[in-house]
């Protein structure tokens, strides 16, 4: 099979399409012929060597995608050759064929395309637990969403709006501001403005919002300034750098709450994956989630796909197609 591989850490130029052996079929796994593969910043960090990679080169990136089952292990029950499936956390996905343990398989309904699944799952599952577990968003809540034009941000905005919340977005440019407004934000502020003060003016009571979803990290204290007394800040990413240390006395004095979020603490079973993915598919059917048309590259163009992602000029999902 062909796969996008690299032998040393570095820039996008280290990636190349190469013929390598097919994956080994284990008793409790299936081999999926990939139709669409999601590209994520974690792939960039692994390519650079920021995230640890086990084993020896050639290394294969990719954890998210969708395709069709081509081979089934002897212990597999409930799946068959030809089934359309997807996954969000399976290694070595940047290849024509991927070995997938059955506990990672998410059945793909006929009305959800391969492109939709590969564009949705990793970021969508994140947005789902953030709006249902980290904080249960309800009608009438006022919500601040950082990086509202980004992958998770767009989905967060839409899921919050579907629950009846009022949503204020933050973006880094006028172009991204327009994108965030298009996906449903009631208003969008720019990071180069005095946005913590403006958040208070925007909130109905002038006291700040109920909750802030912060994926930037370095903005954490400003997020605390933006939420009301007894408000909540959910910290789930560090796109802008390390967060400052938080003084517990500030939390005590303001009765504000800081909670963290990591997807892998929320999808610990196969049933978790299926239930949350099914809920996301239902939101698409109901018209509550609209996915931007993805930008597509062939596996052979993987280096160009990485360059586009690192440029931060893209707003929708980037897919690799075998």
Say if residues 188 and 180 touch (Cβ distance below 8 Å).
yes
User: In the predicted model, what is the mean pLDDT of the chain?
Assistant: 95
Task: Evaluate the CA torsion angle 143, 147, 149, 153 in order and state its sign.
Answer: negative
> What digits encode the pLDDT tens for the residues 140-163?
999 999 999 989 999 999 999 999
Half-sphere exposure at residue 241, Cβ-oriented, CA atoms within 13 angstroms? 5
* CB-based contacts of 114, cutoff 8 Å, min separation 6: 35, 36, 66, 67, 84, 86, 108
The residue written with tokens 């009305």 in the block is: 111
Supply φ then ψ for residue 18, to 5 degrees. Answer: -145, 150
Per-residue pLDDT band at 16 (split at 50, 70, 90): very high
> Count of CB atoms within 10 A of residue 249's CB?
8
Query: Is residue 314 predicted with pLDDT exceeding 80?
Result: no
**Cα dist. 311→91, 303, 305 in Å?**
24, 12, 10
Q: Which domains does the chain have, with CATH numbers?
A: 2-120+268-321 (3.90.180.10), 139-260 (3.40.50.720)
pLDDT at 313: 76
């Amino acid at each position: 099979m062909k796969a996008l591989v690299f032998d040393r850490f570095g820039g996008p130029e280290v990636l190349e399409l190469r013929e390598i052996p097919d994956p080994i079929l284990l008793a409790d796994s299936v081999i999926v012929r990939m139709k669409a593969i999601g590209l994520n910043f974690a792939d960039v960090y692994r390519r650079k060597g920021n995230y640890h990679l086990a084993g020896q080169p050639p290394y294969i990136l990719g954890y998210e995608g969708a395709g069709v089952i081509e081979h089934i292990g002897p212990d597999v029950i409930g799946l068959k050759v030809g089934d359309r499936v997807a996954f969000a956390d399976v290694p070595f996905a940047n290849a024509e064929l991927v070995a997938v343990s059955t506990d990672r398989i998410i059945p793909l309904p006929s009305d959800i395309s391969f492109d939709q699944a590969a564009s949705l799952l990793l970021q969508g599952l994140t947005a789902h637990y953030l709006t249902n577990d980290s904080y249960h968003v309800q009608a009438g809540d006022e919500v601040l969403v950082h990086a509202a034009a980004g992958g998770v941000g767009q989905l967060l905005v839409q899921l919050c709006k579907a629950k009846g919340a009022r949503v204020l977005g933050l973006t880094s440019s006028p172009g991204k501001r327009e994108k965030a407004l298009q996906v449903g934000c009631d208003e969008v502020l720019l990071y180069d403005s005095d946005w913590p003060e403006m958040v208070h003016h925007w909130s109905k009571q002038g006291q700040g919002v109920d909750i802030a979803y912060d994926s930037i990290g370095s903005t954490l204290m400003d997020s605390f300034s933006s939420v009301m007394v007894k408000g909540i800040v959910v910290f789930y990413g560090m796109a802008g750098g390390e967060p400052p240390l938080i003084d517990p006395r500030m939390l005590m004095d303001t009765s504000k709450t800081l909670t963290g979020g990591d997807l892998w603490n929320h999808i610990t079973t196969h049933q978790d994956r299926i239930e949350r993915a099914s809920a996301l598919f239902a939101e698409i059917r109901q018209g509550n989630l609209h996915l931007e048309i993805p930008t597509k590259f062939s596996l052979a163009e993987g280096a160009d796909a990485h360059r586009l992602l690192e440029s931060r000029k893209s707003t929708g999902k980037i897919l690799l197609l075998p």
